[in-house]
């Protein structure tokens, strides 16, 4: 049952990438009501308290987690995806957008840790490869968490640190950089191919696809987008994170067979969500089509 649902979800996801007419980039993330940004720090106490509580709760659960306990790891993966998606769906004041997105990125990297653990447990022949990159992923997550604290104003960046924050300097929501859009278009083709090639009844194939998508998302986390392309960049990050959730749910269901119904229900919701995000991403990446790329140049 679960394998059939996952197969349907991936087919629909691939269809979403190919069926939407790409056009000039619009504001891609539903939570963003774009206006000219200011450097005013976020002062929404309820929002910041929510982030602090969720970060603390997840930190406590991570400390108590034995990654060899596949049931506990699978359930935490499901919980963490839900928490991250809560922040993806929030509408916040403009001055809190940087904090919102740094929070999303931090939780995405926390999920990567759990995905690696599940991959090692379900694709045992290649466990050493997953375990080898685990320390680097933990370090990356810690850095992402520090960025959240810096943007929230509760931590001080190092003197030589790269400035944190992606939204406050935006002057336009329209991405017209031909090189960025062309590269994104190629990455979307590769993204679609990964989904197409994933064998949903083969945990080795699924685990490897999870890692490929995580690496692609992290690539967009690390790049400095051209002016006007920041929201397209962030939509890419969110969309890939949600597509990874689909595959991560497959690993979790394989590892935690007693709770398969819970993962199947989550997959049904996640499939719908990912399709909608893919449509927004294709629209946001409209300049990645040959016609739009020529127009942009």
Q: What is the pLDDT along the chain (297 residues), one digit of tens a residue?
A: 444 444 444 444 444 444 433 333 333 343 333 343 445 788 899 999 999 999 999 999 999 999 889 889 988 998 999 999 999 998 888 888 889 989 999 999 999 999 899 888 888 898 998 999 999 999 999 999 998 988 888 877 776 666 666 665 566 667 888 899 889 988 988 888 888 888 877 888 888 898 899 999 999 999 888 888 888 888 899 999 999 998 888 888 878 888 888 888 888 888 889 888 888 887 776 645 444 333 333
Residue 160: the pLDDT is 62
Per-chain mean pLDDT for the chain: 79
Residue-level pLDDT at 97: 85
Q: 213, 239 in Cβ contact below 8 A?
A: no
pTM reported for the whole predicted model = 0.80
Task: Encode burial over 228-261: b for 16+ CB neighbours within 10 A, e otherwise.
Answer: bbbbbbbbbbbbbbbbbbbbbbbbbbbbbeeeee
Handedness of CA 167, 169, 174, 180 (dihedral sign): negative
Give the whole-angstrom CA distance, residue 108 versus residue 112.
6
The pLDDT tens digits for 258-291 are 888 888 888 888 888 988 888 888 777 664 544 4
- pLDDT given at position 54: 94
| pLDDT at residue number 165 | 64
CA distance 186 to 285: 11
**Residue 225 confidence (pLDDT):** 85
**Strand, helix or coil for residue 266:** helix
What are residue 157's phi and psi, to 5 degrees?
-70, 155
- What are the angstrom distances between the C-alpha of 112 and each of 3, 109, 182, 190, 197? 22, 5, 27, 20, 21
CA distances to 19, 36, 59 from 65, rounded to whole Å, are 41, 43, 10
Q: For residues 279 and 167, give the distance between their C-alpha atoms in angstroms, rounded to a whole number.
A: 22
Identify which of 80, 136, 89 has the alpha carbon closest to the alpha carbon of residue 108: 80
């Amino acid at each position: 049952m679960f394998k059939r649902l996952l197969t349907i979800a991936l087919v629909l996801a691939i269809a979403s990438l190919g069926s939407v007419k790409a056009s000039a980039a619009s504001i891609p993330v539903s939570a963003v009501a774009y206006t000219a940004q200011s450097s005013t720090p976020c002062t929404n106490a309820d929002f910041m308290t929510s982030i602090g509580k969720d970060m603390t709760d997840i930190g406590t659960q991570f400390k108590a987690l034995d990654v060899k306990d596949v049931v506990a790891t699978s359930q935490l993966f499901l919980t963490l995806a839900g928490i991250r998606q809560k922040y993806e769906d929030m509408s916040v004041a403009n001055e809190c957008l940087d904090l919102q997105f740094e929070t999303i990125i931090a939780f995405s990297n926390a999920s990567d840790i759990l995905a690696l653990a599940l991959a090692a447990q379900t694709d045992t022949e290649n466990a050493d490869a997953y375990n080898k990159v685990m320390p680097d992923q933990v370090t990356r997550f810690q850095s992402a968490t520090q960025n959240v604290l810096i943007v929230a104003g509760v931590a001080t960046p190092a003197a030589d640190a790269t400035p944190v924050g992606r939204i406050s300097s935006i002057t336009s929501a329209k991405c017209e950089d031909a090189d960025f859009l062309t590269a994104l278009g190629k990455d979307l083709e590769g993204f679609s191919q990964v989904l197409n090639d994933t064998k949903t009844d083969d945990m080795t194939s699924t685990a490897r696809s999870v890692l490929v998508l995580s690496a692609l998302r992290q690539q967009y986390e690390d790049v400095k987008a051209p002016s006007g392309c920041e929201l397209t960049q962030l939509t890419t990050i969110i969309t890939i994170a949600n597509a990874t959730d689909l595959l991560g749910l497959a690993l979790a269901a394989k590892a935690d067979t007693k709770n398969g119904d819970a993962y199947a229900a989550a997959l049904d919701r996640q499939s719908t969500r990912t399709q909608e995000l893919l449509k927004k991403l294709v629209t946001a990446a409209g300049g990645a089509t040959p016609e739009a790329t020529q127009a942009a140049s």
